[in-house]
Amino acid sequence: MAENKWKELLQPYSQYLLFSRNYSPNTIGNYERDITSFFDYSESIGVPIFEVEEMTILMFLQDQLSKGESKRTMARRLSALRSFYDYQRIHDAAHFTKNPFRDVKAPRAEIKYPHALFLDQVNKLLEENAKRDDPLMVRDQAILELLYASGMRASELVHFEPSSIDYGNRMIRVYGKGKKYRMVPFGINAMKWMKRYYSELRPDLLAKWTPAVSHQRPKSFFLSAQGGTLTVRGLEYILHHVEEITGLSLDLHPHELRHSFATHLLENGADLRLIQELLGHESINTTQVYTHLTTEDMKKQYEQFFPKRTGEKRDGGSSR
């Protein structure tokens, strides 16, 4: 096999991820970049990709870390390459006789836990945004209410259509990760603002649509200010704009409201399995991160409010 043809191996592998593993295009793109980064390195040092040994991989890791790549990124790249070589061992065993990535452990990365807002911060956000007097306030308020009340992913919120909503049961059918549909409940306040947006503002936004905005007439529930389909990037811009208008500093992001939704459910006694179902997590291990969040908050509040006994140090000062 000629070394300069290794990139041709990516296409069937990417098709496998798409159709057999149901990976999203975004995830597949990340895998392709991760694999390409290693193949570029191995080519630069003259090691054919089917002759890679453990030392080559360790040298690659050291090279990437020296260039400022995070340990978390390295772990993801090793995972992508491990999967790629497993695939090649099945489909091209003549060249790929082993998977050298199987015995290499990723550098241990620090766990980054998701950030969640306090309930009073969420209430303040909703109250302040509702005071706006511009026309897009209604859409933005509906978005904020729904993100917090449903725990939807950003991609799920921008893609669902009006026909997916069951107002009677306050449920929305969304298309989530792994090409799977699930039913997501939402609150009464979210329903109020969604109905108001749909009747008062959406027709005006839809009237602004032209083929120059987007090739197809938008079908999604939430529309951009120009009348096109709202994108994830557009949603992020809206939340940033909300922060600017309201004067709040929350580092607002769609995932932050999703994390707040899950954390507040857990704090109020919801079962972890229920939260897993609501968030659309395939594994309960993914959902368990919220257990840590509430535990950390509990520890902080304990340290803040529990009275110090005689002999304990206060705020790093002398004992008394």
Angle made by CA atoms 119, 297, 189, in degrees to the nearest 5:
15
Own/partner long-range contacts of 69-73 (Cβ < 8 Å, ≥24 apart): 70/109, 71/106, 71/107, 71/108, 71/109, 71/110, 72/109, 72/110, 72/112
CA distance 84 to 35: 8
E strand or H helix at 203: helix 202-207
- Say which of 177, 182, 196, 237 is annotated catalytic: 177
The question of whether 16 is a catalytic residue gets the answer no
- Say which of 170, 173, 182, 255 is annotated catalytic: 255
CA distance 67 to 246: 39
CA distance 253 to 256: 5
The question of whether 258 is a catalytic residue gets the answer yes
The question of whether 23 is a catalytic residue gets the answer no
In a 3-state reduction of DSSP, which class is residue 113? Answer: coil
Residue given tokens 């989530």 in the structure block: 176
In a 3-state reduction of DSSP, which class is residue 33? Answer: helix
The question of whether 309 is a catalytic residue gets the answer no
User: What are the distances in angstroms from CA 117 to CA 140, 146, 267?
Assistant: 18, 15, 13
- Say which of 159, 258, 259, 264 is annotated catalytic: 258
Residue 25 buriedness (CB in 10 A; 0-12 / 13-18 / 19+): exposed
CA distance 282 to 314: 44
Q: What tokens does 264 get? A: 């507040």
- Say which of 77, 139, 264, 281 is annotated catalytic: 281
User: What are the distances in angstroms from CA 262 to CA 60, 115, 267, 282?
Assistant: 38, 11, 9, 15
Contact indicator for 175, 184 with CB cutoff of 8 Å: no
Tell me the catalytic residues: 153, 177, 255, 258, 281, 290
